[in-house]
A and B are shown apart, each in its own frame.
Chain A
Amino acid sequence: MANITRSPWLLHYDGSSCNGCDIEVLACLTPVYDAERLGVMNTGDPMQADILLVTGGINSQNQDTVKQLYDQMPRPKVVVAVGVCACTGGVFKDCYNILGGADTTIPVDVYVPGCAARPQAIMDGIIKAVGIFQQRSNEYKAQVKEKKKAAKKGAQN
């Protein structure tokens, strides 16, 4: 029951994409694909999210927003780049305002290619991200334990 991977909550951010990938992300939540059976919830609130789903490339205007959203998410957290624009910048790569994929701004864990990425691929990406989420969670727990130990030692000294 203490399995943390059973409840990944998503935060979906749309960068400068053509909205094709956004529609496919929403398709994942419809009855046909029903991502909720994996415990996925689309929260829209960074404070409650575990996985940040970025679609579309990063430009000079939305870079700060993406960074802020990532910083507002509590650890453990995972980032998934959905669609070729979020992975590398895609067809917009050489535009004057585009900086590139999501990894130009925040550390990306899973890349889901495609233009637009198919719902099956997105679900697969989320499942991969859930695996990483468990790993992060274990690391985070170990860190917290170490911190507590150090604090205790500090108190004794």
Chain B
Amino acid sequence: MSKWILVICYILLAPFIGGLLEGIDRKISAKMQRRVGPPLLQPFYDVIKLFNKETINVATAQTFLILTYFILMVLTGVMFWAGSDMLMCFFILSTAATFLYFAAVVTSSPYSSIGAQRELIQMMAYEPAVLLTCVGFYLAAGSFNVGDIAQTSVSYLVYLPGCFVAFVFILTIKMRKSPFDTSTSHHMHQELVKGLTTEMGSKNLALFQVTEWYENVFLLGVIGLFVVNTNPISILAAVLVILAVYFLEILIDNSSARMKWQDMLKITWILTFFSAGVNLVVLMIMK
């Protein structure tokens, strides 16, 4: 029963939490640059405005593809919070990302297409770390089910510090933060105009934004899974760890320039191998 409450909470609250986190992100970023910054609710103002604008579709299929991206992303989160198979969650997440790729290339705009290709390279970069993290949870808990994984007396951070580091690292890619924001270029005036989202306007862009919020809440939930155990106080600890990780991402975003995709792929794979891979080997020997 309680898991369905979590699922309903996720569906209803995730956009608000995600939007609020983005508002905090923009505010903290502004403070780091000694600016006043936009109001906390700015992301909501943006999305509401976008929903009220005229729809111009470059390709009619785009709306359908983004809608599929949205539904699959919500489904990923629902499966995670319902405590079902973690591997399946990440497979559906990858499927969702593929639909985003199609939504970008269907317009055949050069900026959008190059952004989409970079998105695929980003997927290639982060996917090994995601899979190794899942395997790590399996080795430590003996199950892929999120519900079983959460029932532990000791936090997984003790068993999986390497996987945690790798997962936080790829979170920078997933959240489209600065050294790795090759596919969308979310800061103003950059090489690819708006990359992946160049041909998305009004409602489509708003839906894309809301989907990103759902995704962020899901990913931060996975971070929380590293911390929670049967002790209720651990939930508070998980929230604190999530906020700390989010702050770290903002810090990285504001203090680094964009990388080439070759460097991104190399660094991510090397780090994944040495941190998550070694962690798994050690765990196998010890168990």
By a beta-carbon cutoff of 8 Å, the part of chain A in contact with chain B is 1-4, 6-7, 9, 29, 31, 34, 36-39, 41-45, 47-48, 50, 72, 74-76, 137, 140-141
Are the C-beta atoms of B35 and A141 separated by less than 8 Å? no
**Roughly how many angstroms separate A9 CA and B47 CA in the complex, as a whole number?**
12
Are the C-beta atoms of A1 and B44 separated by less than 8 Å? yes
How many B residues are at the interface, by size bracket?
A: 20 to 34
Question: Which of B26, B30, B45 has a CB less than 8 Å from the CB of A1?
Answer: B45
Residues 43-74 (chain B) with a chain A CB within 8 angstroms: 44-46, 48-50, 52-56
- CB-CB < 8 A to A48: which residues of B? 50, 194, 197, 200-201, 205
- CB-CB < 8 A to A44: which residues of B? 188-189, 193-194
A7, A47, A140 interface centre (most CB from chain B within 10 Å): A47
**Roughly how many angstroms separate A41 CA and B36 CA in the complex, as a whole number?**
14
Q: How far is the CB of A136 from chain B (nearest CB, A)?
A: 11
Q: How far is the CB of B189 from chain A (nearest CB, A)?
A: 5
Q: How far is the CB of A7 from chain B (nearest CB, A)?
A: 4
Given contact pairs A31-B34, A36-B26, A36-B35, enumerate 13 new A-B contacts (beta carbons under 8 Å).
A6-B45, A7-B42, A36-B30, A37-B30, A38-B38, A39-B38, A42-B188, A43-B188, A45-B193, A47-B199, A48-B194, A48-B200, A74-B202
- CB-CB < 8 A to B26: which residues of A? 36
Are the C-beta atoms of A37 and B36 separated by less than 8 Å? yes
In the complex, B120 has a CB within 8 A of chain A: no
Between-chain CB contacts (< 8 Å), 17 pairs:
A1-B45, A1-B48, A7-B46, A34-B35, A34-B36, A36-B37, A37-B37, A37-B38, A38-B38, A39-B45, A43-B188, A44-B189, A47-B201, A50-B53, A74-B54, A74-B55, A74-B202
The total number of A-B Cβ pairs within 8 Å is 87
- CB-CB < 8 A to A76: which residues of B? 53-54
**Roughly how many angstroms separate A45 CA and B112 CA in the complex, as a whole number?**
11
**Roughly how many angstroms separate A137 CA and B50 CA in the complex, as a whole number?**
12
Residues 18-49 (chain B) with a chain A CB within 8 angstroms: 26, 30, 33-39, 41-42, 44-46, 48-49
Given that A7-B49, A45-B194 are contacting pairs, would A31 and B35 also be in contact in the complex, using a CB cutoff of 8 Å?
Answer: yes
- CB-CB < 8 A to A72: which residues of B? 56
Are the C-beta atoms of A140 and B54 separated by less than 8 Å? yes
Are the C-beta atoms of A6 and B49 separated by less than 8 Å? yes
Nearest A residue to B109 via CB reads: A47
**Roughly how many angstroms separate A3 CA and B201 CA in the complex, as a whole number?**
19
**Roughly how many angstroms separate A36 CA and B34 CA in the complex, as a whole number?**
12
**Roughly how many angstroms separate A7 CA and B54 CA in the complex, as a whole number?**
15
Question: Which of B30, B33, B45, B205 has a CB less than 8 Å from the CB of A7?
Answer: B45
Given that A31-B34, A34-B36, A36-B35 are contacting pairs, would A141 and B52 also be in contact in the complex, using a CB cutoff of 8 Å?
Answer: yes
**Roughly how many angstroms separate A31 CA and B254 CA in the complex, as a whole number?**
14
Q: How far is the CB of A105 from chain B (nearest CB, A)?
A: 20
Question: Which of A1, A2, A7, A41 has a CB less than 8 Å from the CB of B188?
Answer: A41
- CB-CB < 8 A to B55: which residues of A? 74
Are the C-beta atoms of A74 and B201 separated by less than 8 Å? yes
Instruction: Write out, one digit per residue, whether chain B residues 195-231 have a CB within 8 A of any chain A CB (1) or not (0).
Output: 0011111100100000000000000000000000000
- CB-CB < 8 A to A47: which residues of B? 56, 198-202, 205
**Roughly how many angstroms separate A29 CA and B42 CA in the complex, as a whole number?**
16
- CB-CB < 8 A to B52: which residues of A? 4, 137, 141
- CB-CB < 8 A to B188: which residues of A? 29, 41-44
Are the C-beta atoms of A75 and B49 separated by less than 8 Å? no
Residues 134-175 (chain B) with a chain A CB within 8 angstroms: none
**Roughly how many angstroms separate A102 CA and B39 CA in the complex, as a whole number?**
33
B188, B198, B202 interface centre (most CB from chain A within 10 Å): B188
